Structure 1
Amino acid sequence: MDTEGTYDSRGTRRDAVPRPATPPVPAVPPGPPADMNPPAPASPPAQPTPPAAPPTPAPVDSVPPPVPPAPPVPPPPGTAPGATLSTGPASPAVQSPFLTWLRTPRTAGGPGVWTFGHRPKPVEDPERVPTRRLVSGALIAFLCAWLLWALLSNNYLGNWWRLPLILFFPDSWRGTEGGALVADGYVWLVKGLIAFGFGRVGHWPELARRLAEPLLRHFRQRRETTQRTQPETDPAQWPHLRAAGAHGVADRLAAEARAGVMNDVDHARLERAWESVRAQPGRLAAFTDTVLREGASACAHPSGVRDLPVRTARHDLIAGQVRLGRATDDLRNPYEFRDVSMALDPAVLGTSLLAVGPPGAGKTGRLVRPVVESLCLQALAGRVAVVAVGPAGAGIGPDDAFDVVVKIGRPESAYDLDLYGGTTDPDEAAGVLAEALVGDMAHGLPGGDSRRAATALAQLLGPYRAAHGRFPSVPELRELLDGSQTALAALRAALDEAGQQAQARELDARVRQAAAAGDVGALLADRIALLDRPAFADFFDTRGGRRPFSLRALEHPLRVRIDLPERGHAEASRMLARLVLAQFTECAVGRADRSLFACLVLDDASHTVTPEALRGIQRLRSANAGAVLTLRTLDDVPEALRSALLGAVGCRMAYAGVTTWDGARFAEVWGTAWVETRDVTDRQIISDEPMTKVLHFIRRVVTGKAATVQSVTVRKVERERWSASELAHSVPPGHAVLSVTSVRGESAPPVLVDLRG
C-alpha cells in the first residue's frame, strides 16, 4: 500500500518481516463484532477455505505471515447467510449492528471495568430502601388511605370528623353557596391530611423521586443517542477526519460503514493508521490516496486478513477490551463493582497477570483463549504483537488465527524456533540460553546463580561464531560441552585459520575450566541433551535450512503460537518455555520501536519462574509489554519466589479450588480493608412483676423460647479482603477472584467474577 511503509512489512532489515510473496487479497469481513449480537443464521455458514500451504522454508530470522486465500464474500453484518450483498446505504429505519456497536457510549469505570455501554452506579446509600419494598409499602399505604376515606365518607365511623364544621360555622351557612365551598374545602383538607400521613408512612415522596430518576435517565440516554447520531458528533461519520480536512476519506468510510462492508477490526486498524498520520503529517497524502482507493480494506495487515475465523468471547476494539465475566452481587464485592462486567485490556495487561487454579478450573478456556483472541484482533488492527505459548492441543486458538505457528517436535511444522533469539551477540545468546537450561536450578549451581553457566556458554558460542559465522546447532553445542577432543580441536583449527586469537584464548579458558572439579559444563551438556533427541532433529537449525522464528520480530504486529511438546518431553517443554520467556523479556525491552504493545501468554508456567525471569517481568511494564502466566498451584514456583512473583505482577487471579496455602499468599498480597460489622446480642428478660412473669411463662409454653431483647452493636474493623479459607472454600465453580492494576497506577480491589456468563 502507499503509506510510505507505515503498514508494509519490508524485508530491509534482518529482524523485519518480509513482504508476502503475493499481494494479499482484501476480504469482506465475515461478520460483526461479538457485541453486536446478530440474529441467528437460517442455515449453517460456509466453512472457510483452509489456508494455503506455506512456501518453501527460507533462512530468515523472522518469518512472514502466510497469505491465506480470499474467503467467500459473506453478507453484511447482521444479515443471514445467503442474503444479497448491497453496496448502497442501509435503510434509516434499520441500523446495522456495526453502527449500533460504534455509536454505543463507553464510560470509564476504573481499571478492569467493561466500558461498552457501562453506566456508573449511584452513590451507595446504606439506608436506601429497596425499590421493590418501597413500591409494595407505597401500595399498601395507598390502599389503607383509600379504605379509611371510604369508611369516613360513608359514615361507618360516625360523623366525629365533621365536628369542626358543626362547632365553628353557624347553621345559617348550611345550604348556601359559601357554606358548600367551606364544606368542600374542609373535605379536601381531611383528604390531604390522610394522604400526607399515609404518604409519610408509605414513602410516597421517595417513590416519586425514584420514578423521576428512571425517566430522566431515559431522556438523557435518548438525548445522548441523538447527539451521537448528529453529523458533527456521529462516530460513523468520522468527525475527526472531517475536522482535519479529509472530507473525501470520511465520506468513503462512512459509506462503507452504512453498506455493511466494514467491521470492528477495520475501524480499529484505520484509527491506528490515522494516529500515525497525526504523528507524521507527511503521510496524509498517502493515507488519503490509499483509503479512497481501497475503502475499509485499506492499511491492511500484512497477512491480508481482516478478522479471525471464529470468536469465542465478547470484544470491544474501540477500548481494546475483552469481557471475562460479571462481578457477582456479593457482599464481599465492593458496592461499585457489584453486577458490573469485568474485562482486560493492554492498559492492565501491561502490568502482567498471574492466574492460579487447579486443572479444570477454566484457565485456558475462560482466560487464556479470550485474551489471546483479543490480542490477535488487535494485532490485525496494527496495535499489538502477541506470542502465545502452550502445550500442543491446549486449545489456545485455531492455526488460521495466527500468522506463525511453531509446532516443536512435529514434522509438519512450517516454522522453526531460533534457539538464540535472533541475536548476534554471543554474550547475550549465552545469557538467555543459560536461563533456559539451568535457570530453574540456579540456586544449586556453584556460585549461587547461573552466571557461571552463561560464562561457560559464551566461551563456546563466541569462538564458534567467529569461526563459522553462525552459532552451533544443538548436537554441535552438546559435543563442545561434553569436551569432545575432536570437536574442540576442529574449532581451534578453524580459529587459527581465521586469525581469531582473542576467541582462541576464550576457547582455551573453557578447556582449562572443564578439567576442574565441579565444572558447570557437564551439567549444561546434560540439559542440552534433552533437546538433542530424534523428535527435535529438524528443529533449532542454525545452518539456514528452515524458517526460524525470532522474537526480534516483536516490532511488527504478528500473531504467533508456539506449541510445546509436553507429552513425552515434559522437561524439554519446561526448558523451552523458560527459553521463550527469557527471549521475550530481552527482546521486548530491547525494541527500538515500542509503539506496539507486546504480550506473551504462557499457558502453564510451571517451573519457568526464576529470579532472572522475575526481573525481566518487572521491566516489561516500562517497555509497553506484559505477560500472562497461569499456574496450577504456587507450589510449581520455588518457595523463595512465590511472594516475589505475586508482587511483580499487577493483576492477580485466584480460581475456584485453590489450596488454602495458595489462598494465604493471595490474602497476604491483597491486604486488609475497613468493614462495618454488626454484632447482635440476645438477652433474656427477667422480671419481678407477677403479671409479667405469667405472660413470659405463657410465651415460653407457646413458642418454646424465653422472652429476650436484642441489642445491636455496629462498629468498623480491619479485616482481610479475602481470607485463605474463603478463597479455598467459598469461591463457586466457574468463578474467580480478580484484581487488576493499570500501567498508570490505578488499581481495583479483588472482585468475585462469574466467568460463565
Structure 2
Amino acid sequence: MNKRREQLESLKRKLAAITGAGDAQPADVSRAAPQPVTQPWDRIRASHSALAQQLDQLASSPDFGDVDRARIAHIIARAGHEPAELDRLAEAVLQEQGAALVHPSQQRNLPGPRFAVHNLVAGQVRLGEVIPDHRSDYEVAGDFGLDLDVLRTSLLVIGPPGSGKTRGIAIPVVEHLSLAALTGKASMVVVDPKSTDFAYDGWFDVTIDPLNPTCGFSLFGGSRTADVAADRLASALLPPRVTDDKAYFIDASKNALYACLEPFLAAYERWPTVPELLGLLRADQAAVDGVKSRLKGAGAKDLKALLDTRGRQMQRTADPAASLVERFALLDRPSLRRLFDHPGPTFQMRDLNRPVRVRVSLPEAEYPDASRILARLVVSQFVQITSSSEADRSIFKGLVIDEAGRFVDDYVARGVQKLRSNNAGLVLLTQTMADFPPDVRATVFGSTGCKAVFGGIDPTDADIFSRWFGDQYVTETTINRSATSGVRYDQYGSVGGRSESHTAGYSARRVERARWTVSDIITGVPSGHALMSLARSNGARVGPVLVNLRG
C-alpha cells in the first residue's frame, strides 16, 4: 500500500510539473499561521521601495485587475536585463496608476464574462478536470490546464464534428492568448474558417476580412528578399498535393515569381500590387517596359534579362507557370485587391514581434479558392517569421488554426520543429489526420509535442493514438480447475456410489496491454472529454490524461 501511495504521489508531482498545477492541499485553519501575501514586485522591494509601495497601494484598489498585475509583473521580470525599464515603470505608475504602460489597445481586460479560469501571472489557463483512470498517468482528480511553455511544443487536436474541439480547447486557449497579449507576454494569429467561431468583440486588434477590409494584409509581409517571397507565395498559390513528376512545374512557378519580383523591388523599392504583379507574370509589354525604364546603374542589365526569362517561359509550347498565373488571378477581385493593396494600415507578419492579436476571417462561401490561398499564405508566413533569427524570443507567438488539415503543407510541417526554440507554437485543430496531405501526416504528428483526441474518431486515427499512448503492464490471472473421481464405500464395505473432488489452481503473470485500445478511444471517451498528453520545451512529458472539459 505504501508503494502504491508513493507511485500516486510521484505521478501527481509529474503532472504538476507539466501543467503548472500546484500540490494544493486543504489547510488546517486551526494550526496554520497566516501567510504574508506575496506580490510579483517583492523582488524589487529592497532596490525600489517607493515603487513597490505604490504598487502595494494599487493592488488594494478594485480597479486593479489580474491583467494589470500580470502586465506589471512581466515588465519587472524583463527589467532584470534593462534596469531603465523600472524607472520608466515608476514614472508611468505615478502618472497613469493602474493603466501604467497599458497595451496599445488601451484595454485592461476583455469585455464580457470569461470562458475559462486564467492565472495570468503564471501564464496558465484551466481547461477542465482530470478524471482518475488506471490507464492514465494521473489517477487523482484535480484541475488540468496549459501554460505558454507547453504551447511552445505545439498542440494537435483531433475530434469529429460537434465533439467540443472549439469550445473545450480552442476558445479557452485563444482567450488566454488574448489576455496574455494585454500583459505583453504574447502575440497571436487565429485562422477562422467559419468567420464566426472566434468573432468576439475586444479579443483582437486586427481582423483580416476580405469582405470588410478595414485593415490590409501584405502578400509579402514575412519576406525581405525576393527569393524568399517567391517561395512562400508559390507554396500558398499552388496545391499541396503534387507528385514528383509535377515538381518541375513547382520550381518553374517559383522561378517565374522571382523573375518578376526581384526587378520590380529594385526598380520601385517596394513590393508590387496584385495587378502589377499579374501584369509581369503575364509578360504584359507595358508592365515590363515600365519596370525596365526605372532600372539604372550596376546590375540593371542582369535584372532586365531576368524579366525577359518570364517572356521566354511563356513562349514554350506549355507554359510551366501557367497554373500559378491563373491561381494568382483568383486574387484579382475588387474586394481582395482592397485587402492586399489596402491604402490604410496593413498588417505584416513581422508585427508579431510585439503583443498584437490578429484574426483571419475566411469568406469561404464567397471566395473558396482565394480563402484557401489566403489561409495558406498566413500560415506559411507565420512559420517563416517565427522560425527566423529575427524573431523576438521574449514574447510567445501563437497560431491557432481551425480545420488545419487544409492549410498545412510540407514547409509548415517541417517548420513546427523550429518554433519552440523561438518561443512560438501552433494549435492545429482538425477532424481527422486524413485531412492533412499524406506526405506530411507523420511529420505533423511527430513534431507536435502535445496531443488531444476526442471520442468517436476514425479507427485509423484511434490506432495511431493508441500506439502513441503506449502499453502498460497488467496482471493476468489464470484459474485452472481439475476434478478427481473415485468409488465410495458404505459401512459394510459395499460400493455405495462414486465421489468427485474439485481442486483449483491460480497463476498470475505480468503482460503488456495497450493503455487505451482503439475501442477505448472510439467508444470509451465520454462526450465533452478528451484524452490529452502534454510536453514541455525541456522534453518533460505526461500523458495520456482523461480530462472533463466541461468540469
Q: Which residue of 2 aligns with 1:325?
A: 128
Q: 1:589 aligns with which of 362, 378, 387?
A: 387
Q: Is 2:19 the counterpart of 1:113?
A: yes
Q: 1:305 aligns with which of 104, 107, 110?
A: 107
For 1:665, what is the secondary structure of its paired residue?
helix
Query: Is the contact between residue 676 and residue 714 of structure 1 (CA under 8 Å) also seen in structure 2?
Result: no
Q: Which residue of 1 aligns with 2:479?
A: 681
Query: Is the contact between residue 656 and residue 732 of structure 1 (CA under 8 Å) also seen in structure 2?
Result: yes
For 2:78, what is the secondary structure of its paired residue?
helix
The Cα of 1:632 is off from its aligned counterpart by: 1.4
Q: Is 2:415 the counterpart of 1:616?
A: yes
Query: Is the contact between residue 351 and residue 621 of structure 1 (CA under 8 Å) also seen in structure 2?
Result: yes
Aligned AA (1:228): Q
User: In the superposition, relative to structure 1, how do residues 349 and 337 fare at CA in structure 2: closer, same or farther (>3 Å)?
Assistant: farther
In 2, distance between residues paired with 1:499 and 1:333? 65
For these two proteins, the number of residue pairs brought into alignment is: 532
In 2, distance between residues paired with 1:406 and 1:557? 17
CA deviations on 1:235-258 (whole Å, 9 max, x unpaired) are 14943232x332222222222222
Query: Is the contact between residue 114 and residue 323 of structure 1 (CA under 8 Å) also seen in structure 2?
Result: no
Bigger mean CA offset, 473-482 vs 458-467: 473-482
Give aligned-pair identity as a percent. 36
Q: Is 2:221 the counterpart of 1:421?
A: yes
The Cα of 1:439 is off from its aligned counterpart by: 5.4
Query: Is the contact between residue 222 and residue 384 of structure 2 (CA under 8 Å) also seen in structure 1?
Result: no
The Cα of 1:228 is off from its aligned counterpart by: 2.8
Query: Is the contact between residue 112 and residue 343 of structure 1 (CA under 8 Å) also seen in structure 2?
Result: no
Q: Which residue of 2 aligns with 1:358?
A: 160
TM-score, normalised by the number of residues in structure 1: 0.65
CA deviations on 1:470-512 (whole Å, 9 max, x unpaired) are 3222233233333444433444445479983221111112222
CA deviations on 1:386-434 (whole Å, 9 max, x unpaired) are 11111243322413221111212x13x3111111115342112111111
For 1:752, what is the secondary structure of its paired residue?
strand
Q: Which residue of 2 aligns with 1:138?
A: none
Q: Is 2:81 the counterpart of 1:282?
A: no
User: In the superposition, relative to structure 1, how do residues 646 and 688 fare at CA in structure 2: closer, same or farther (>3 Å)?
Assistant: same
For 2:241, what is the secondary structure of its paired residue?
helix
Q: Is 2:286 the counterpart of 1:381?
A: no
Query: Is the contact between residue 320 and residue 346 of structure 1 (CA under 8 Å) also seen in structure 2?
Result: yes
Q: Which residue of 1 aligns with 2:363?
A: 565
The Cα of 1:454 is off from its aligned counterpart by: 2.1
Q: Which residue of 2 aligns with 1:72?
A: none
Query: Is the contact between residue 181 and residue 357 of structure 2 (CA under 8 Å) also seen in structure 1?
Result: yes
Aligned AA (2:124): Q
The Cα of 1:682 is off from its aligned counterpart by: 6.1
Instruction: For 1:336-375, list aligned pairs within 5 A.
Output: 336-375=138-177
Q: Which residue of 1 aligns with 2:427?
A: 628
For 1:441, what is the secondary structure of its paired residue?
coil
Q: 2:440 aligns with which of 635, 641, 648?
A: 641
The Cα of 1:273 is off from its aligned counterpart by: 1.0
User: In the superposition, relative to structure 1, how do residues 259 and 470 fare at CA in structure 2: closer, same or farther (>3 Å)?
Assistant: closer
In 2, distance between residues paired with 1:502 and 1:447? 27
In 2, distance between residues paired with 1:607 and 1:707? 69
Bigger mean CA offset, 287-296 vs 639-648: 287-296
In 2, distance between residues paired with 1:477 and 1:556? 30
Query: Is the contact between residue 180 and residue 186 of structure 2 (CA under 8 Å) also seen in structure 1?
Result: yes
The Cα of 1:540 is off from its aligned counterpart by: 0.5
For 1:342, what is the secondary structure of its paired residue?
strand
Name stretches of at least 5 consecutive residues in structure 2 with no aligned partner.
Answer: 1-11, 490-495
The Cα of 1:374 is off from its aligned counterpart by: 0.4
User: In the superposition, relative to structure 1, how do residues 554 and 523 fare at CA in structure 2: closer, same or farther (>3 Å)?
Assistant: same
Q: 2:316 aligns with which of 516, 520, 526?
A: 516
CA deviations on 1:300-349 (whole Å, 9 max, x unpaired) are 11111111113111111122111111221222213x34423221111111
The Cα of 1:281 is off from its aligned counterpart by: 1.9
Q: 1:252 aligns with which of 46, 49, 54?
A: 54
User: In the superposition, relative to structure 1, how do residues 248 and 569 fare at CA in structure 2: closer, same or farther (>3 Å)?
Assistant: same
In 2, distance between residues paired with 1:397 and 1:742? 30
For 1:325, what is the secondary structure of its paired residue?
strand
Instruction: For 1:457-472, list aligned pairs within 5 A.
Output: 457-472=257-272
TM-score, normalised by the number of residues in structure 2: 0.88
In 1, distance between residues paired with 2:283 and 2:246? 19
In 2, distance between residues paired with 1:714 and 1:724? 26
The Cα of 1:644 is off from its aligned counterpart by: 1.6
In 1, distance between residues paired with 2:550 and 2:535? 23
CA deviations on 1:693-730 (whole Å, 9 max, x unpaired) are x9x99xxxxxxxx9976654433223333233322222
Query: Is the contact between residue 676 and residue 716 of structure 1 (CA under 8 Å) also seen in structure 2?
Result: yes
CA deviations on 1:346-389 (whole Å, 9 max, x unpaired) are 11110111111111111111111110100111111111111111
Query: Is the contact between residue 40 and residue 73 of structure 2 (CA under 8 Å) also seen in structure 1?
Result: no
Q: Is 2:74 the counterpart of 1:272?
A: yes
In 1, distance between residues paired with 2:104 and 2:368? 35
When Rg is computed on C-alpha atoms for both structures, the one with the higher figure is 1
Q: Is 2:372 the counterpart of 1:574?
A: yes
More strand by share: 2
Q: Which residue of 1 aligns with 2:517?
A: 723
Q: Which residue of 2 aligns with 1:83?
A: none
User: In the superposition, relative to structure 1, how do residues 569 and 677 fare at CA in structure 2: closer, same or farther (>3 Å)?
Assistant: farther
Query: Is the contact between residue 646 and residue 669 of structure 1 (CA under 8 Å) also seen in structure 2?
Result: no
Q: 1:262 aligns with which of 64, 69, 77?
A: 64
Instruction: For 1:137-536, list aligned pairs within 5 A.
Output: 218-219=27-28, 226=33, 228-229=35-36, 234-236=37-39, 238-242=41-45, 244-310=46-112, 311-334=114-137, 336-408=138-210, 410-411=211-212, 413-421=213-221, 423-438=223-238, 440-443=240-243, 446-447=246-247, 450-495=250-295, 500-536=300-336
Aligned AA (2:141): D
Query: Is the contact between residue 16 and residue 23 of structure 2 (CA under 8 Å) also seen in structure 1?
Result: no
In 2, distance between residues paired with 1:745 and 1:550? 32
The Cα of 1:686 is off from its aligned counterpart by: 4.5
User: In the superposition, relative to structure 1, how do residues 237 and 405 fare at CA in structure 2: closer, same or farther (>3 Å)?
Assistant: closer
The Cα of 1:689 is off from its aligned counterpart by: 6.9
Query: Is the contact between residue 157 and residue 452 of structure 2 (CA under 8 Å) also seen in structure 1?
Result: yes
User: In the superposition, relative to structure 1, how do residues 108 and 663 fare at CA in structure 2: closer, same or farther (>3 Å)?
Assistant: closer
In 2, distance between residues paired with 1:689 and 1:239? 90
Query: Is the contact between residue 241 and residue 247 of structure 1 (CA under 8 Å) also seen in structure 2?
Result: yes
User: In the superposition, relative to structure 1, how do residues 428 and 272 fare at CA in structure 2: closer, same or farther (>3 Å)?
Assistant: same
In 1, distance between residues paired with 2:426 and 2:295? 41
Q: 1:754 aligns with which of 539, 548, 551?
A: 548
Q: Which residue of 1 aligns with 2:6?
A: none
In 2, distance between residues paired with 1:361 and 1:708? 53
The Cα of 1:579 is off from its aligned counterpart by: 0.6
For 2:157, what is the secondary structure of its paired residue?
strand
User: In the superposition, relative to structure 1, how do residues 714 and 295 fare at CA in structure 2: closer, same or farther (>3 Å)?
Assistant: farther
In 1, distance between residues paired with 2:68 and 2:344? 34
Q: 2:530 aligns with which of 733, 736, 743?
A: 736
Aligned AA (2:533): S
User: In the superposition, relative to structure 1, how do residues 708 and 643 fare at CA in structure 2: closer, same or farther (>3 Å)?
Assistant: farther
Bigger mean CA offset, 531-540 vs 597-606: 531-540
In 2, distance between residues paired with 1:289 and 1:709? 88
